[in-house]
Amino acid sequence: MNTDFIILAAGRGKRMTGSLPKVLLPIAGKPMAQHVLDTVAGIENSRPIIVIENQKSEVKKFLLTPKNTKWVTQRKQLGTGHAVKTALPELRTGSIAVVLYGDVPLVEVKTLKALIKMARKDSLVILTFNKEHSEGYGRIVRGSKNQVEAIVEEKDASKQQKKITEVNSGILAIQSAHLKKLLPKIKNKNAAKEYYLTDIVGLAKEEGMKINPLLLKESDEVLGANTPLELQDLERASQRIKANKLLLSGVNIADVNRIDSRGTLKVGRGSFIDVNNVFEGVVEIGKNVKIGPNCFVKDSTIGDGVNVKASTVIEDSQVGPGCTLGPFARLRGGTVMEGNSELGNFVEANRSTIGRDSKAKHLTYLGDATLGTKVNIGAGTITCNYDGEKKHKTKLEDEVFVGSNTSLVAPVTLGKKSSTGAGSVITKNVSPGDLAIGRSRQSNIKRKNKK
C-alpha cells in the first residue's frame, strides 16, 4: 500500500531569532526537516508532500528530497487543519496519509510503520505521549472503553482538562479517502480562529470511525522546538537517542550526555568512547577501538583495535587496524595509516600514507609523504612540501630512519634502510643504506672573558 507523508513545514519560527526557516535549523548536523525526510525514505512506497509558506526556493536549496516529492504552498497561516487541506490534491488514491512536522525530527521508522498498520483498519490513529508539565499541548480526552473522545487545545481546555498528562503529538495516520472527506468539515470556531487539525477526532467519531491512540513510551521521539532553548533540548535528546542505540549494540560510552554524532556513526562491539567526542559526516569505527577524550573525527574510517588518545583530530582519513594516534595528533587530506603504525603527540599528517609498523611519535609534520614499512621518524622532523607555488612529494622507503630535527625538502626520496643525521636539511635523494648528513660543520669560537 502507498503511504503519503504530509510534512508541515510552513512555520516561520519567529521566536528562533535566526534568518533561516525553522525547519532548516540543524539537529545532529543536518536540518530538522531532513531528518523527517530521511525517516520517510525508510518506508516502502512512500511519498513526501511538503507544505511550506513562501520560502520554497530556500527550503529546496537546503534539503535533499526524493524525485517523487511534492511541494505545496500554504499562502495564509490559518492553522494545521488548513495546512493539511492544501495537500489533499496530492494524495494518491487508496493511500494512507500520515501527517508529520518539519520541526519534529526524531520520530522513528518503527513508530511510523506501527501507525500505518493501525490505520489500515478504517480508523484514525493518533500518536500520543505522557508529559508531566503539559502546558501548550492538546490534551487527550478519553471516554468509555478508554477510547479517545477528543483532543482539546490548551487555549480551549477547562481547568480539569489541563490536568491531563496524556497529550497529542500532532502526528496522525488515516486513509486518504477519509481525510479528504473529513477535513473540509473542520471549522474555525475557537479562541484562535484557526482550523485545528485536532478537530478531525470529533468528526471521525460522528462518522462512526474508531479513534485509536498509539501511546509512545519515550517522549523524546516527538519533541519539537519553538524557541532556542527548546532547540537545545531537542539536540540533546537527539544525541541521547543515538548514544543509547550504540550502548545497546555493545559499545561502551563514558557518558551518553557528552558525545555528539552529527551524521552517520557506526561503531563496532567492544569499543570505548570517552567524554566530549564529536563525530561528523560519515564515520565508521571498528571493534575494540578506544577513543580518548576531546577527539574530533570527520568522514573517516578507523580499523579494529585502534587507540586514539586525547584531543586527536581525524578528518577525511583512513586508520588501519592496531594503529595508535595522539595525544594531540592530526590526520587530514585523505591520509592513510596502514596497520600498526603510530603518529604520536603533536604529529600532523596531510595527504600522506604511513606504512605498516612505521612511527612518528613526536612533533612532526608529514605533508604529501609516502612512508614504507618500519620507517622511524625522529622528533621535530618536517617535510618541506611547498615551494611557494606547488606541492611536492617525499618518499621514504622501507626501514628508513630519520634523525631528530630533520627537514626533508621535497621532491626527495630516501632509499631502503637509509638514514639521516639529526639536524640535517636533506635536499637530494639518498641511496639505499646510505647515511645523509646535511648540516654545516660545527665551529667553537673562543670568547674573551667578560668582566
Q: What's the DSSP call for residue 243?
A: H
* Better pLDDT: 297 or 198: 297
pLDDT value, residue 132: 81
* Better pLDDT: 89 or 53: 89
50 and 127 within one domain: yes
pLDDT class of 104 with cuts at 50, 70, 90: very high
Residue 450 lies in a domain: no
237 and 205 within one domain: no
Which sign, positive or negative, has the C-alpha torsion 442, 445, 446, 449? negative
Exposed e or buried b for every residue in 61-81, given b needs 16+ CB within 10 A?
eebebeeebbbbebeeebbbb
pLDDT value, residue 405: 97
pLDDT value, residue 450: 58
Going by C-alpha positions, the residue among 107, 154, 128, 111 that lies closest to residue 212 is: 128
Q: Is the pLDDT of residue 377 over 90?
A: yes
**Spatial separation of the C-alpha atoms in residues 56 and 25, rounded to whole Å:** 15
The domain total for the chain is 2
Residue 448 lies in a domain: no
The strand ranges marked E within 210-319 are 210-215, 252-253, 259-267, 272-273, 277-285, 290-291, 296-298, 301-302, 307-308, 313-315, 318-319
263 and 406 within one domain: yes
Q: Work out the mean pLDDT of the chain and round it to a whole number.
A: 92
pLDDT value, residue 13: 63
CATH number at residue 415: 2.160.10.10
13 and 135 within one domain: yes
Last residue of a domain, one of 222, 252, 287: 222
Residue 451 lies in a domain: no
204 and 119 within one domain: yes
pLDDT digits (tens, 9 = 90+) for 76-86: 888 899 999 99
Global pTM?
A: 0.87
214 and 262 within one domain: no
Residue 446 lies in a domain: no
Residue 114 lies in a domain: yes
204 and 236 within one domain: no
Residue 62 lies in a domain: yes
Q: What's the DSSP call for residue 432?
A: T
244 and 173 within one domain: no
Asked if residues 431 and 415 have their Cβ atoms less than 8 Å apart, the reply is yes
Residue 444 lies in a domain: no
Q: Is the pLDDT of residue 363 over 70?
A: yes
Q: Is the pLDDT of residue 135 over 90?
A: no
pLDDT digits (tens, 9 = 90+) for 227-255: 899 899 999 999 999 999 999 999 999 99
pLDDT value, residue 392: 97
382 and 262 within one domain: yes
244 and 217 within one domain: no
pLDDT value, residue 18: 66
174 and 49 within one domain: yes
pLDDT digits (tens, 9 = 90+) for 248-285: 999 999 999 999 999 999 999 999 999 999 999 999 99
pLDDT digits (tens, 9 = 90+) for 379-404: 999 999 999 999 999 999 999 999 99
Q: Is the pLDDT of residue 202 over 70?
A: yes
Last residue of a domain, one of 205, 222, 239: 222
* Better pLDDT: 93 or 193: 93
Last residue of a domain, one of 202, 222, 242: 222
Give the three-class secondary structure for 15. helix
pLDDT value, residue 61: 85
Q: What's the DSSP call for residue 364?
A: E
pLDDT value, residue 440: 86
Asked if residues 212 and 124 have their Cβ atoms less than 8 Å apart, the reply is yes
CATH number at residue 87: 3.90.550.10
Residues spanned by the domain of 410: 228-436
pLDDT value, residue 451: 54
Residue 370 lies in a domain: yes
239 and 194 within one domain: no
pLDDT value, residue 17: 65
Active site residues: 362
Most confident of 156-170, 204-218, 247-261, 437-451: 247-261
Q: Count of H helices and E strands in the chain?
A: 7, 37
